[in-house]
Amino acid sequence: MEHSGSFTGGKINQEKEKNMCGIAGIINSYDRFSGEETVRAMCGVMRHRGPDGGDIFSAPGAILGHRRLAVIDLESGGQPLYSEDRSLVLVINGEIYNYIQLREKLKRSGHVFATSSDSEVLIHLYEDEGIDFISRLEGMFAFALYDMKKKICILGRDRMGKKPLNWFQHGNELVFASELAALKCHPDFPEELDHDALAEYFSIQYIPQPYSIYRHVHKIAPGHCMVFEAEKNCIRTIPYWKIDFSRKHSGTREEIAAELRRLVEKAVEKRLMSDVPMGVFLSGGIDSNIIAGVTAKLLGKSTCTSFTVGFSDSRYDERKLAAAGAEFINKHSGGKLDYHERTVEIADFSLAAELVRHCGEPYADSSILPTALLSRFAGENITVALSGDGADELFGGYERYLAMTMAGKLDRIPLPIRSLLLRCTNIVKDGGERSFTGRLRRFLRISCAAGSHRYFDLLDRCPEQMRQALFTPEFRSCLSYSGAEYFSSSAGVLSAVHEIEKLSETDILTYLPGDILPKVDISSMAFSLEVRAPFLDREVVEFAAMIPWEMKLHGRERKSILKYAFRDLLAPEISHAPKKGFGVPVAALLRSKWRTPAEELIFESTIGHSEFLNRETVHKLWQDHQNRKADNSYILWSIIGFALFLGEKKCCL
């Protein structure tokens, strides 16, 4: 066990040579154009994603760039990759877990491979099957494949949205990159902000896909590919996969648990493919303990290294539980788990500013900070880490699912009585979001909300009354819809029948690819660390969608079927511990270590004079928070995230 003292989050070190991936490119119908230097600059911005090297493909009508991820085929797996006649060129970010099976089948049909890379199978699959080849891929990926004969470019993204891909169109030119920051290198980058996206950001703390903070810049949606025909200047977006929650498994609890376990173990085994050091993230939660336990058992006599970080604030510290989990795995499950922990403290603002730069747009989920510190810690020792991401959405892990269930039962109580109870809680001193009174106040607030908007009201950090005070009249006049309307519109594409399971499906379509996965991608890539999520394996996801909701949220027990399937890997204290989440004490930090830099950022930077926010309201939110009249940490952190974004690049207002 390692006790490394404390680490103060500061500047990100991008000089350490490890492995990561980034892609970029420009496609158009011109016979000649001078975009090579632009693509080189785009790739240069993403050097942290691929410090092992990179290269550029340039031909009439297409320039593709790549920063190297050397996890598989370290010697010959450089990109771009080409077909045998060099009419097809590929750049890809990610991993293809079933490439060995695909490769062997393609070889038998006569294809000749130039490398041992997992990525080359995409080229040969496209030669055989055309655009439909993407549905054969199992993995996490974002790619661009250019067909020089047909003058088309295919952009594709994995089913769950693990790997990012952003794009915009300028005239008859398509520009794409893994990061928004890279797109901004283009001289014609469209800087106009999307006001509706900005309003959604203040409500849910991220910008949902396929939108971005920029009106004319988009994100490829998970489970979709996009075809750009350069000569016709035509874009087609094609969905190739969708989760189906409508069909349910009829097996017993034991049968479903056994199959779930088999699929998760299979998913972990697939993700152990690597030519570089690997490990696991470990917290005091169920999900990471399952992944750590399965990994340790699969590795047998080999050591599985786990990494845990914690804070001195006990409300946010899970190190004791994580250590207990590691000890239980080693004692009861035959695993060989090497446990390492580190105390981290975020004493200054520089890490937050650096991460916003990588995000390329406002982002206000403060858990990106400990995720980055965990990635930095792990990245000092390994190149690939496994995580437990996705289990909460798939197996009913969030407390809000239980809260929504209970709120529905309260509908039997007349609304005036519920409203009176809510007003009574407002009299009690605000003890913060994580206090009993804070949680009770939020619960009563949603119990008074209309059923169709209730879930959004639970998530909304900037409700209508706050919007009226915080947004300037000019900003409000530009908004075409509310966040609640956006969420309500997504209900039309849901396949779930159970009312609470619909919320889980909504999170899989919005929160998971819009908040959770970008957080992990940005924070890990910043430290040249690849993170793989076994729970997001296609087979696991499709099977999880078939599990009856009552087996996931069983009474008051969340993730019931998951805990039952892996009960031999979970220490009792972990199985029964309340979910903490991976957060930082933002409320306290804004009143202490972060107070001065945050105050300067809010009131002396661009945001203090922006056309979006009412300065008087921002000042009152700040003062009330400092005077402990209210816990305004969520909305203040959103304001800070927006201020950091504005400071990174002057935007067209």
Q: Please answer whether residues 458 and 481 qualify as being in contact, where contact means their C-beta atoms are separated by less than 8 angstroms.
A: no
Could you give the 3-state DSSP secondary structure of residue 75? coil
Q: Please answer whether residues 296 and 336 qualify as being in contact, where contact means their C-beta atoms are separated by less than 8 angstroms.
A: yes
- Strand locations in 9-104 (E): 22-28, 54-59, 62-67, 81-82, 88-96
d(CA 118, CA 96): 6
Q: Which of 65, 70, 55, 56 is nearest to 17 (CA)?
A: 70
Q: Cβ–Cβ contacts within 10 Å for residue 150, how many?
A: 13
Is the dihedral angle over the CA atoms 605, 608, 612, 618 positive or is it negative? positive
d(CA 79, CA 91): 6
Could you give the 3-state DSSP secondary structure of residue 252? coil
Edge to edge, the sheet with strand 152-157 lists: 81-82, 88-96, 139-147, 152-157, 224-229, 234-239
Could you give the 3-state DSSP secondary structure of residue 623? helix
> Which member of 21, 43, 448, 462 is catalytic?
21
Look up residue 638 and give its two tokens: 């959103």
Q: Please answer whether residues 25 and 66 qualify as being in contact, where contact means their C-beta atoms are separated by less than 8 angstroms.
A: no
d(CA 483, CA 506): 14
d(CA 65, CA 177): 9
Residues 6+ apart with CB under 8 A from 281: 288, 291, 306, 307, 308, 374, 378, 385, 386, 387, 388, 531
d(CA 584, CA 313): 9
To the nearest 10°, report the CA torsion of 400, 405, 407, 412: 180
d(CA 55, CA 40): 8
21 is catalytic: yes
Say which amino acid occupies 539: E
Look up residue 537 and give its two tokens: 């394996």
Would you name the residues annotated as active-site residues? 21
